[in-house]
Amino acid sequence: MQHRGVNTLLIDPFACSVTQQNHYDTFASAADATNLKNYLEGLADNSLLVVVTCDEPTTTLSTVLSTLQGLGADVSDVKYRGAFTFVAKKGAPSMTKLDKVLTEAASASRQPFVNVMVAGMMKFIRHDRQ
């Protein structure tokens, strides 16, 4: 289930399962943006994270941009109603797989997606925004 703003999934790569999912309404809530920043900074190194946006994620996202960039996801160029998704291993920003569409017009014609296979996993993690 996706909600407006930024949605996170913490993945257990050995069980191939979601261990935690969160939603941050970074359109309407500066507090949610701060909560997202605190959540991301509090994750342990080697945590496997999937991030998916929906509707409008950028309105209050400015406080989180440096944290996202530290994960290997530079989304500072995403404009109002643009979209992004990424899979990251905390502490290994060069391994992050990111896709983004920068504008509302671009996201109306193509939603971002990534295909990732993690060594040792028996399943693919694939996300296509619908």
pLDDT digits (tens, 9 = 90+) for 64-113: 999 999 999 999 999 999 999 999 999 999 999 999 999 889 888 999 98
Q: Which helix (H) or strand (E) holds 41?
A: helix 30-42
Number of neighbouring beta carbons within 10 Å of residue 31: 11
Q: Amino acid letter at 18? A: V
Number of neighbouring beta carbons within 10 Å of residue 119: 5
Q: pTM for this structure?
A: 0.86
Where exactly are the structural domains of the chain?
Answer: 5-128
pLDDT digits (tens, 9 = 90+) for 12-61: 888 888 999 999 999 999 999 999 999 999 999 999 999 999 999 999 99
C-alpha 125/C-alpha 98 separation (Å) is 14
Q: ∠ CA 26-39-52 to the nearest 5 degrees?
A: 50
